[in-house]
Structure 1
Amino acid sequence: MQDQFRALLIDRDDEKKQSVQVANISPDQLPDGDVTVRVAASTLNYKDALAITGASPVVRSFPMVPGIDLAGTVDQSSNPAFAPGDRVVLNGWGVGEKHWGGLAEYARLNGDWLIPLESAFTFEQAMSIGTAGYTAMLCIMALERHGVTPESGEVLVTGAAGGVGSIAVAILAGLGYQVAAATGRAEEADYLTGLGAARIVPRADFTEPGKPLAKEQWAGAIDVVGGQMLANVCAGVKYRGTVAACGLAGGMDFPASVAPFILRGVTLAGVDSVMCPVDERREAWRRLARDLDPAVLEPVTTTAALDDCPGLADDLIAGTIRGRIVVPISAD
């Protein structure tokens, strides 16, 4: 390991004023953990942007290295499950919030948080997928568990031009589903149809309070927005359909009625990617290796340098970023 390495560091002074800079870090500053990873690539996610901008109290202790995703090579390990040279990936587990994360050249971690990286993916492809794509696959697996198949009917994806939505659209289309992509950005229509969306639905159709029960349209849905949009999505789901909810970009409230659940037997399946058990994580990544064409990742991905992350965080919060932001850290 190098004597010093670069990391994006969030800190706060005695007056609780937050600062963000790319700093030189020494290995003895790394937190406790039984595996040290040389990070090949990380990402800039919505949660990372909240941490960097301070728009939400995501960071639990200071200083903090953000980055809820990382992929790289084990450098040192006292964990019997991993040896130096192993290719690994990490998503969630409070990394970048409570424990230093992936936007640094090295990360020291609890080995129980790591899983082997599928051989189908390079490090940067793994980060093009990242928590967003892994969450999208968890949502698809939830729909499948509740009996939603391509033959069941159309599946709606909200926030479709974002990270989770883009990957969800691509995977669902590849599996043979008819996908309706909901977005507030009309200019992204060609992008979404290129990913496989059968039609584009304006986000404005869902933003105002609607009836407790609307016309039955969707066999299933993946929602990253929450709030009023989720309430309206549930109201329009077909009898015994399922909504996989994984996000709150539109708010934490849920101004709905019980009507879809007790009159149509609709299931609202919550999907958490942060503390998801390891076996389910491994299955999600196996499914990604099988069901996601890596060629789909190129139009979904923007590459950025570590130094660019603070500025891009503002754009991500503003909702002007398409798809995924990958941050290469070191050579494979």
Structure 2
Amino acid sequence: MTFRAVRADKTDAGQTVRFVDMEDADLMDGDVTIRVTHSTVNYKDGLALSGKSAIIRSFPMVLGVDLAGIVETSGRPDFAPGDEVILTGHGLSETHFGGYAERARVNGDWLVKLPTGLTRAEAMAIGTAGFTAMLALIALEQAGLEPSSGPALVTGAAGGVGSMAISLLADKGWTVVASTGRLAETGYLKSLGAAEVIDRATLSAPGRPLGKERWAAAIDSVGSTTLANALAQTRYGGAVAACGLAGGMDLPATVAPFILRGVSLLGIESVHCPAPRRLEAWRRLAADLDRAKLAAMTETIALDQVFEAGARIVKGETRGRLVVTIP
């Protein structure tokens, strides 16, 4: 049996990324084989699809950091043929074949059974972005913060993580301040629950070690100067959950927010998140996420369109979530 896949190969001339026909014998080791029905396009996918990124660590590599599908065969008792499953992270598209293929073979320890109430398409509309946003929200809650503590900032607001974070925070009662470089998306961001929309330029330029206290919490997917300014303007005892680097890997900040205001910087890692935390995040997403808002932030494309979508997401020309249907 042959199937289509988007695969990256490397030669002396560099990387090539293209559609190929593969066979089951080409799949990597694993104890569960899945018929993939849906995937996503995240910022990391866009970088990999460009053929110019160092994200891929092993070649050849099937791209796609997320997948949802139906178990076809299983060598373990906790998954059976017909089970609907989700897989995000765990090295997909970096060290293990990912979701841009009609079939996948993976380690069953990485899988999550589709939570009750979610469809596979909805699970991929959530994907790594929504999963990461929920991990960030849980981290803020565990830091003792709640809506009564004050407003919450969301940077990169029109992107996947940002859109999901706004919806999740607003539905929990937070007053959300959304930072974006695309003020034309103000109506969209307010429809998700943002109370205020600010220009990202107010955070992306170098600022003071400490600024006016504005928010009690923040979810940042940008990094660099934006994260530094978010920290500098966080209220006493507040916290910032950092989960992205769209603006850069550097952090040109000082220790002032930490030692003068007791601000906490919370690191959010979603790729190798332990199973108990992963299951809790998906349980919360299935229970808490507003399905109408999820639909409003989601665009659905075919597998043939991933290259065009990847270019758009890297340029910052997409909003919300991109779901890929797999034939």
- Give TM class, smaller chain: over 0.9
Distance in 1 (CA, whole Å) between partners of 2:163 and 2:146 is 19
Q: Which residue, out of 259, 262, 270, partners 1:265? A: 262
The residue aligned with 1:109 is: 106
Map 1:99-138 onto structure 2 (within 5 A).
99-138=96-135
| Residue 12 (1) aligns with residue 6 (2) | no
| Residue 287 (1) aligns with residue 284 (2) | yes
Distance in 1 (CA, whole Å) between partners of 2:40 and 2:309 is 11
Cα distance, 1:44 vs structure 2: 1.1
Q: Which residue, out of 78, 88, 104, partners 1:81? A: 78
Query: 2:9 is matched by which residue type in structure 1?
Result: D
Distance in 2 (CA, whole Å) between partners of 1:140 and 1:15 is 43
Distance in 1 (CA, whole Å) between partners of 2:92 and 2:17 is 17
In structure 1, runs of 5+ residues without a counterpart are none
Query: 2:35 is matched by which residue type in structure 1?
Result: R
Distance in 1 (CA, whole Å) between partners of 2:314 and 2:204 is 19
The residue aligned with 1:222 is: 219
Map 1:25-174 onto structure 2 (within 5 A).
25-174=22-171
| Residue 203 (1) aligns with residue 210 (2) | no
8 Å contact kept, 1:74–1:88 = yes
8 Å contact kept, 1:137–1:284 = yes
Distance in 1 (CA, whole Å) between partners of 2:264 and 2:310 is 34
SS in 1 for 2:76: coil
How many pairs were matched up?
A: 327
TM-score after normalising by structure 1: 0.97
**Stretch moving more, 143-152 or 6-15:** 6-15
Distance in 2 (CA, whole Å) between partners of 1:303 and 1:14 is 36
Distance in 2 (CA, whole Å) between partners of 1:196 and 1:271 is 23
SS in 2 for 1:99: coil
Query: 2:261 is matched by which residue type in structure 1?
Result: R
8 Å contact kept, 1:44–1:326 = yes
Runs of 4 or more consecutive aligned structure 1 residues displaced over 4 Å after TM superposition: none
* Cα displacement string for residues 120-147 of structure 1 (whole angstroms, at most 9, x for unaligned residues): 1111100000000000000000000001
SS in 2 for 1:38: strand
Cα distance, 1:56 vs structure 2: 2.3
In structure 2, runs of 5+ residues without a counterpart are none
SS in 2 for 1:198: strand
Query: 1:63 is matched by which residue type in structure 2?
Result: P
Distance in 1 (CA, whole Å) between partners of 2:152 and 2:287 is 21
The residue aligned with 1:310 is: 307
Distance in 2 (CA, whole Å) between partners of 1:75 and 1:201 is 48
Identity of counterpart residues, as a percentage?
56
SS in 1 for 2:194: coil
8 Å contact kept, 1:22–1:306 = no
8 Å contact kept, 1:5–1:25 = yes
Distance in 2 (CA, whole Å) between partners of 1:20 and 1:135 is 27
* Cα displacement string for residues 159-189 of structure 1 (whole angstroms, at most 9, x for unaligned residues): 0000000011011111110000000001100
Aligned-pair RMSD on alpha carbons? 0.9
Cα distance, 1:91 vs structure 2: 0.7
Distance in 1 (CA, whole Å) between partners of 2:236 and 2:52 is 39
Structure 1 319/55 Cα, relative in aligned 2: closer, same or farther at 3 Å? farther
* Cα displacement string for residues 94-126 of structure 1 (whole angstroms, at most 9, x for unaligned residues): 111110001111110010100111021111100
* Cα displacement string for residues 199-248 of structure 1 (whole angstroms, at most 9, x for unaligned residues): 10110001111111100011100000000000000000000001000000
8 Å contact kept, 1:244–1:270 = yes
Query: 2:11 is matched by which residue type in structure 1?
Result: D
SS in 1 for 2:62: coil
SS in 1 for 2:61: coil
